[in-house]
Structure 1
Amino acid sequence: MTNPTLWRQEVTKLEAYVPGKSIEEVKKQYGLSEITRLASNENPYGPSPKAIAAMNAAAADSHLYPEPTSAELRSKLGELYGVDPSQILVSNGADNVLMLIGQAYVNPGDEVVYCVPTFSVYRTSTVVMGGVPVEIPLTADYKFNLEAMLAAVTDKTKLLYVCNPNNPTGTIVESAELEAFLKKVPPHVVVVLDEAYGEFIDVEGYKTGAEYVREGYPVISVHTFSKLYGLAALRVGYAIATPEVLAPVLAVREPFPVSRMANSAALASLDDVEYRDFILSTNREGLRYLGNELGRMGVGVTPSYSNFLFADLHRDAAPVVEALLRAGYIVRPCKAWGYPEHIRITVGSPEQNRGFVAALERILGA
């Protein structure tokens, strides 16, 4: 057993990330043959058929190293967002991009400000570099408190994280509020907009992080192919920022961060606009259906702009989560985020959503 005294000091301040229960784990534990996982915000339909064909074709070249800059993918993303490819960095998943940002920017003693609860990598990427996390509570309606974040900025502040939509609450800050916030950020601070769920925002005229980059704000916009495009297992994430802001991130990135299969699948996913629109449409319908059904059962539902719902059961969620597991449904309990009566529910297919609603109704009735 490794002696903890040999560990890097910052590592002793961290706890390993605890993912949601796996399908395999639940099948074995409860003796079930069919499991529906609505805990990890995965695309219930999987990747585009074009993406599957592309990754299968790319498998034949697995003996070759990938093209290290993902030039073709950056070019296609540049067309999508209206930015130059030099303003895009592609790496091994959005969480990897966030870790790279911490490595590139955070010195010992630097402060990093964000609201909680949110994605845990902001804290990890700060602490591992010897930085100081400055954690601000969300607003009463579970949104990032931008005014409180600005008030917390000091001359030691290096990064501000805004998760938009926020995980686990699914909330967003309005475009006008976000733009006013960016205008007040001092020049020694970089804002990281985590837009892993950004494609799901269905608000007319809502501004994306790429638009703020084009307008010259000191912003890094972070995205993933894991959610909307269903490539979670392949690990493809990217950042959009000016070349000057991306330069230190490129300096610490791995030489070959994205596999040939992942790169090919991402390219094909962007080409399959019809499939993307299908996923967005069914997700909107699923949000409406689940929101209505949960409300009918007396469950509190926070308005969501993502592919999941933050639901208040108004009772200890642990027994409900356990009963759902026995019924074959995995959801994410929110006790670790400080909300023991909440669960996070991924929007599934219509069939999965109906089955989940029926199971939850039986459990709550009992």
Structure 2
Amino acid sequence: MNWKKALDGITPYKPGRSIEEVTRMYGLKEVVKLASNENPYGCAPSVKESLASAAIQHEIYPDGYASALRSKLTQKLGVDEEAVLFGNGSDEIIMIITRALLGTDTNTVMATPTFPQYAHNAKIAGAEIREVTLKDNGQHDLEGFLKAIDSETAVIWICNPNNPTGNLIPSDALEAFLGQVPPNILVVLDEAYIEYVMAPGYIDSVTYLEQFPNVILLRTFSKAYGLASYRVGYAIGHPAVISNLNKVRNPFNNNSIGLAIAEKALDDEAFIEQCRKLNHEQRKRFKHYADEKKLHLFDSETNFVLIEVPNDSDDASEKLLQQGFIVRSGNALGTPGYIRVTIGSEEQTSKFLKAFDTLWQSEGSPV
């Protein structure tokens, strides 16, 4: 078959081990998945109730315009209905943007390390990828981004807060950067974890859209809303940008249940606020633990932390796996010497930190 040359060297996404697989492998009674940044508190109770009574006509195609969800979401955001694009998770929107703007005659700029789907999709499109290394503290090198762009740059990707480091770009620095990007370059601000941000001085980036029509925001119901299995993400941008992306979007790309559940989830802001506070409390525990052990921990405004390990990342991940904790090795994220850990509940955090202590014991260091 005449496969695209761009596929050479690309490996399919390999998901981490499931709870069921780890349970069987190691004969464990309890396994906690802390590898995919899911919400340990699930979804809002009202959402669970609505699932039991959701009246879905299974033989009818979904609402391709997502009318009810669109109306409620845009009212909440204070934007026009034409300013929103829905996707099968924000992953699909990344693919839509790539398909609409990137090709062999373009280049795209992104950080490294960052969310790998930007580069993955750009490679398939045959675009030149220009990666700008994060600063030592995990922050984006925005000056480096500006130096990397040229007349053939079509898309800039900024994961904010960044995955896998968790860093949030200060609002004043971000706004100053956006003001220097040529208006013909699309700047994608991927804000999958924005509901977890507690940083003082943070300015909601929706306010940038009127001033910078070349900016588009990506958000999702998969993280804080606890609806990862329903795959509902969305983009917010200038109506002209959204209109062109809609030309690429597949019809009926969101299923009926996902749209209905996401709409219901918007009603329970108290649940999101509770999750934000609980997450912040456990995030502080990780910070205290890292300081106590003199381990480096990147500043995080997300529901995960990237923490240094006293041995190899794969080895540390395996030792934690044997104790029933599924985490993400930094070797797979471009951050060797670290592991990425989803912030769990208070009980899960206590058990995890106890398990983490064994990494020190295996290295002959005091706990």
Name the TM tier (shorter chain). Answer: over 0.9
Q: How many aligned residue pairs are there?
A: 362
2:240 maps to which of 244, 253, 258:
244
Instruction: Flag the 1:323–1:66 CA change in 2: closer, same or farther, 3 A.
Output: same
- What letter is aligned with 1:32? L
2:200 maps to which of 197, 201, 204:
204
Other-structure match for 2:191? 195
Other-structure match for 1:49? 45
Other-structure match for 1:304? 300
Other-structure match for 1:131? 127
Instruction: Flag the 1:60–1:88 CA change in 2: closer, same or farther, 3 A.
Output: closer
Aligned 8 A contact 1:170 1:305 in 2? yes
Secondary structure, counterpart of 1:245 in structure 2: helix
Other-structure match for 1:169? 165
What is the CA–CA distance in structure 2 between the aligned matches of 1:214 and 1:339, rounded to whole Å? Answer: 36
2:85 maps to which of 84, 89, 107:
89
Among the aligned pairs, what percent are the same residue?
A: 37
Aligned 8 A contact 1:219 1:241 in 2? yes
Equivalence map 1:169-318=2 (5 Å): 169-318=165-314
List, as ranges, runs of 4+ consecutive aligned residues in structure 1 with deviation greater than 6 Å.
none
- What letter is aligned with 2:75? E
What is the CA–CA distance in structure 2 between the aligned matches of 1:12 and 1:59, rounded to whole Å? Answer: 46
Other-structure match for 1:117? 113
Secondary structure, counterpart of 2:108 in structure 1: strand
What is the CA–CA distance in structure 1 between the aligned matches of 2:50 and 2:259, rounded to whole Å? Answer: 9
What is the CA–CA distance in structure 1 between the aligned matches of 2:83 and 2:26, rounded to whole Å? Answer: 48
Equivalence map 1:2-17=2 (5 Å): 5-17=1-13
Equivalence map 1:68-79=2 (5 Å): 68-79=64-75
Instruction: Flag the 1:48–1:39 CA change in 2: closer, same or farther, 3 A.
Output: same
Q: Tell me how large the CA RMSD over aligned residues is.
A: 1.5
What is the CA–CA distance in structure 2 between the aligned matches of 1:229 and 1:316, rounded to whole Å? Answer: 33
Secondary structure, counterpart of 1:311 in structure 2: strand
1:39-88 CA-to-partner distances (Å, cap 9, x unmatched) read 11000011112122233333642222111111121122212221111100
Secondary structure, counterpart of 1:300 in structure 2: coil
What is the CA–CA distance in structure 1 between the aligned matches of 2:269 and 2:238, rounded to whole Å? Answer: 27
TM-score by length of 1: 0.95
**TM-aligned CA deviation for residue 314 of structure 1:** 4.0
2:148 maps to which of 148, 152, 168:
152
Aligned 8 A contact 1:209 1:219 in 2? no
1:286-330 CA-to-partner distances (Å, cap 9, x unmatched) read 101122123323322111010000101243222221111111011
Aligned 8 A contact 2:56 2:256 in 1? no
Aligned 8 A contact 1:331 1:346 in 2? yes
- What letter is aligned with 1:156? E
Aligned 8 A contact 2:113 2:335 in 1? no
Where structure 2 has 5 or more consecutive residues not aligned to the other structure, the ranges are 363-367
Shifted more, 199-208 versus 125-134: the winner is: 199-208
Shifted more, 170-179 versus 54-63: the winner is: 54-63
1:101 maps to which of 97, 102, 108:
97
Instruction: Flag the 1:114–1:274 CA change in 2: closer, same or farther, 3 A.
Output: same
- What letter is aligned with 2:6? E
What is the CA–CA distance in structure 1 between the aligned matches of 2:143 and 2:32, rounded to whole Å? Answer: 40
TM-score by length of 2: 0.95
Secondary structure, counterpart of 2:234 in structure 1: strand
**TM-aligned CA deviation for residue 215 of structure 1:** 2.7
